[in-house]
Structure 1
Amino acid sequence: MLADHALSWRPRHPTDLRQTIGVLRRGGGDPSFHLDSSGAVWRATRTPDGDATLRLTQPEADELRCEAWGPGAAAAVAQAPELLGAGDDPTGFVPGLRLLDDAHRGNPGLRIPRTAQVFEALAAAILEQKVITLQAHDSWRRLLTRFGSPAPGPTPRPMRVAPSPEAWRSIPSWEWHRAGVDPKRARTLQNAARYAPKLEAVVEMSPEDAAARLTLMPGIGPWTVAEVAQRALGDADALSVGDYHLSNYVGHALAGRDMTDDEMLETLEPWRGHRHRVVRLLGAAGVRGRPRRGPRMTFVDHRAI
């Protein structure tokens, strides 16, 4: 099926398609994201002009291509270079450590994506608050399958676009319960949906002003803001302070010991402006963090409460 709109371009920096955009996938069962057998990445999203499905490919090492279907296809294609890190500028990033230098040289195509879809990223981040990742991904899958809209175009499998703000607000309490989402997260998400247009406007703001506006919403703190900034705003410095595992991961990767959030911030200060990039590079290079021992965040089945 011929795409409604398409664009091919040569990025100014080396770009690895799958490595760059993979961070947007919310688990293997994400209805809005699919990696097909040819290596193409399919993404269903909502643009200001309507729903769109993107098929992203890398025909050559230095070439990227986006094909899109749906009423939002033109907007999605126009934003595709930015989505794949065209605005990500590694200038000024100096690894300074053998470990980071090896990670940086070994992953030259890792870019920080920028979706420019603030509420979409915010909804997923709220679902991930204070629960284990598998639990949040299951909730995302269930809610998109039940309340999302069908993705337009010739998708290789049935895909869904995340619910509109209005659709999120209309989800009844029992459906949140069935999806394993506790009342606090449900209220946080539905309240944020009321102000979605004002939240989307943060894409034009400085990181500081964007954070200030997002944290006006009850239930949205620094961790959630960072998760949104990393994906929707392409912020290479956004650090998920307050994450259950991150400080210890960074601590063991860079210093061989556990760290508090404050110690992590002090350790990463030399890379200010690129602190999220450091974390992404460590992960991409397979650097191990804290050994798997000690307490872990427990699975809380809110459907049983």
Structure 2
Amino acid sequence: MPGGPLDLGLVLGPLRRGPGDPTFRATRDGSVWRAVRTPAGPGTLRVYGHGGEVCAQAWGPGADWLLEQLPELLGAADDPEAFVPRHRLVALARHRRPGLRLTRTGLVLESLIPSVLEQKVTTDEAYRAWRLLVRRFGEPAPGPAGAFERPMWVMPAPRTWALIPSWEWHRAGVDDKRASTILRAVRVAARLEQAVAMPAAEARARLEVVPGIGPWTSAEVVQRSHGAADAVTVGDLHLPGIVGWALAGNRHADDSVMLELLEPYAGQRHRAARLILLSGQAPARRAPKMPRVDIGLL
């Protein structure tokens, strides 16, 4: 397990796709639950603190794989000491969040599919689509998580994704472009999962061979699958303005300005951006939120 402070919510929080994510649950006792499709099959993982230690339980065919992967999931492969703050705001954020580590799931598809769903739509729309599709086509999580008041679900297998009819994508609010990208990805799922053994840059290049997967999506994936400390997200609607405001008082910063501001953190730009987001320093919203589009009306 990683040494030093460990905040389960901060470490595993990026794996949660909205408050109703059927594959992720944080309970009042401080436990974090994950329902996962592992290379060995479906599994459920519970991680919790007890007496100053981190404990875990797992169920299902994927239980052993989940427990073997647990140290990296909790950031054992991460090196937060390699990060040197260059701005007071970033230094303060790091001081206030000593338990932040970058998770490494060792899985590609579980981050890729929800990331594709988040392309060019509001987060609420993407979270709804993920929630509906997983509950309709996934399978109940093994172990006690399947008996929760709101049962947890394991996401569908690649072949199941490939067989989802067009009207079900439509019902979930997913347009043809995003659905087609997911269908192309699941057809080469094995090749994409092999990318976990590659350096993050090579993994991103392999992902981006699939039409519809660009730099925004590949960065969002390797941040989770690889714990990639330098995979800063470009092409995001809000991140450049947040970074620009926090580091230079520039709410109108674009990707090029953001990357210039983050250049002192080369090798650790994703971690720097994460700390900036955790600082809470964001410009007041002036423009209306991205409008929701009901594809059923198109």
Runs of 4+ in 1 over 3 A off after TM superposition: none
Query: Paired residue for 1:161?
Result: 154
Query: Paired residue for 1:180?
Result: 173
Query: Paired residue for 1:128?
Result: 118
Q: Does 1:304 align with 2:297?
A: yes
SS at match of 2:58: strand
Work out the CA distance in 2 between the residues paired with 1:291 and 1:299: 21
SS at match of 1:236: coil
Work out whether residues 32 and 161 of structure 1, in 8 Å CA contact, stay in contact via their aligned partners in 2.
Answer: yes
TM-score (norm 1): 0.94
Work out the CA distance in 1 between the residues paired with 2:26 and 2:296: 31
Deviation for aligned residue 1:11: 2.3
Q: Deviations over 1:155-192 (max 9, x none)?
A: 13411001111111000000000000000000000110
Structure 2 alignment gaps of length 5 or more = none
Query: Paired residue for 1:64?
Result: 54
SS at match of 2:144: coil
Query: Paired residue for 2:105?
Result: 115
Q: Does 1:249 align with 2:242?
A: yes
- Computed over aligned residues only, the root mean square deviation of the Cα atoms, in angstroms, reads 1.1
Q: Deviations over 1:123-182 (max 9, x none)?
A: 110000010111100000000010011100011341100111111100000000000000
From 186, 191, 198, give the equivalent of 2:184: 191
Query: Paired residue for 2:28?
Result: 37
Work out the CA distance in 2 between the residues paired with 1:161 and 1:303: 28
Work out the CA distance in 1 between the residues paired with 2:156 and 2:4: 34
Deviation for aligned residue 1:304: 2.6
Q: Does 1:137 align with 2:131?
A: no
Q: Does 1:17 align with 2:11?
A: no
SS at match of 2:80: coil
Deviation for aligned residue 1:295: 4.3
Q: Does 1:50 align with 2:28?
A: no
Work out the CA distance in 2 between the residues paired with 1:60 and 1:263: 46
SS at match of 1:123: helix
Query: Paired residue for 2:263?
Result: 269
Q: Deviations over 1:64-116 (max 9, x none)?
A: 11100000100011101111111111232110221111111110101111111
Deviation for aligned residue 1:301: 1.6
Q: Does 1:293 align with 2:286?
A: yes
Work out the CA distance in 1 between the residues paired with 2:30 and 2:82: 32
Work out the CA distance in 2 between the residues paired with 1:163 and 1:246: 31
Query: Paired residue for 1:7?
Result: none
TM-score (norm 2): 0.96
Work out the CA distance in 2 between the residues paired with 1:115 and 1:269: 27
Work out whether residues 129 and 172 of structure 2, in 8 Å CA contact, stay in contact via their aligned partners in 1.
Answer: yes
Which is further off, 87-96 or 159-168? 87-96
